Amino acid sequence: MYQPPDAGRWTGRIDSVSDEQAFRLHQRIRLLDLSKPLETVERAAAFIGFACDEGVRRNQGRQGAKEAPAAVKAALARLPWHLPEGVVVYDAGDVVCVDERLEQSQTELGKAVARLLKNGMASIVIGGGHETAYGHYLGVREALGTDARLGILNIDAHFDLRPYDDGPTSGTMFRQILDQDDQVSYFCLGIQRLGNTAALFADAETYRCRYMLEDELTAGPIEAAYEQIEKFAADHDAVMLTFCMDAISAAAAPGVSAPSPFGLAPSLARALIRRIVSHPKTISVDLCEVNPLWDEGGKTVALAAAFCMEALLHFQRLQPRR
C-alpha cells in the first residue's frame, strides 16, 4: 500500500533559521505524492521508504525493520544541507506491506521506483528488510527496459542466494533475480565466511557471482575494491547499489536484523558507497535492514541516515553540469 509523504517528519525538528547556509535537510526537502502527476526537475533525487520486514519474518530474523523508513527520515531531517546549488530532493512517501503480502508490496515498490527513474530522478530506497532489494530491482528493470545489461552491487555480509521453493524471503532475492533475468550480473562486497554456508558459496559459483570477502576488504588496500567495481560497471549499461546494514560490525551497527561481531568499519563502507554512487552508470540505491527496535542509542539509525546523505552528495547525476 502506498502512503504519500508525511510533512510531520520534516517539520519542527530544529528551530527555524533565516540564513540558508545554516539550513538542514528538513528545510530543503520537498514532498512528492506519487499518486499525482510529477513535475520534471533536472538534478533531482527522491527518498522512497519500504516499510516491510515480512521477508525477515519468513527468514526467521529479528523483526522491526519496517520501522526504519520513519526513523531514518527523521534522522535525515537533522543533517546539514551541503548539496550543490540547483539540486532538488524529495520525500516520495512509503510503500507499506500489509497483511503479510510481501510479493504485492515488492511489486508496488517497483512501480514507485520506476516512476521516479523514468522522470529522471535518482532514487534512494530506505528499507525495510533486504527483501527491499527485489522490489528495487523490479523498478530499475522496468525503467531500463528488458535488454539493458544491469549490474547489481551489493554491500552485504550474506549472499542472499537461498532457494525460494517455499516463497521469497529476505534471503532469496538475488537468486530470484538471477533465475529470471539473464541480463543481470551480481557482485557482493563484504561477504563473511561465518555468515554463509559452504552450499551458498557453491551456489555463488554456480550463478557466476563475483564477490569480495569482508576480511579481504578490511585487510587489503581499498584500491583493489575500486578496481573490481570499475571493471564490473564497465560490463553493464547501468548499475544499482543495494546496501545491507548487517555488513557493518555490530559494534557500530547493533540495530540490524542479523548482527555480526565481524564486519566492515563505517569509514570503509562510506568509501565504497562514495565510489559506487559517483560512477555515472549508478542510477539507484537502497539501504536495508536497519532495525530501530534493536538499536542502541539510535546509532544504527544515525549511521544509516549518514550513508543516505553520502549517496546524495556523491551521485554523479546530481553534480553541476560542466
pLDDT tens profile 61-117:
999 999 999 999 999 999 999 999 999 999 999 999 999 999 999 999 999 999 999
Confidence of residue 20 (pLDDT cuts 50, 70, 90): confident
Find the length of the chain: 322
Mean pLDDT of the residues in the chain: 95
3-class DSSP state of 188: strand
CA 212, 214, 216, 218: dihedral to nearest 10 degrees?
140
Model confidence at 284: pLDDT above 70: yes
Contacts of 44 (CB under 8 A, 6+ apart): 87, 88, 89, 90, 120, 121, 122, 318
Model confidence at 203: pLDDT above 60: yes
- Percent of the chain with pLDDT strictly greater than 90: 90
* Three cell numbers, residue 169: 524471503
Do 123 and 284 meet the contact criterion of CB atoms below 8 Å apart?
yes
Domain count, the chain: 1
CB-count exposure of residue 52 (10 Å: 0-12, 13-18, 19+): buried
Structural domain of residue 195, as residue ranges? Answer: 2-318
Contacts of 1 (CB under 8 A, 6+ apart): 95, 96, 97, 98, 105, 108
Q: Mean pLDDT across the stretch 26-34?
A: 96
Least confidently predicted of 15-24, 151-160, 218-227: 15-24
| Torsion sign, CA atoms 275, 269, 143, 25 | negative
Confidence of residue 6 (pLDDT cuts 50, 70, 90): confident
- Percent of the chain with pLDDT strictly greater than 70: 98
Task: Measure Cα distances from 33 to 82, 117, 123, 145 in Å.
Answer: 25, 15, 14, 24
Look up the pTM and report it. 0.96
Q: Rounded to whole angstroms, how far apart are CA atoms 190 and 256?
A: 16
- Domain of residue 148, CATH code: 3.40.800.10
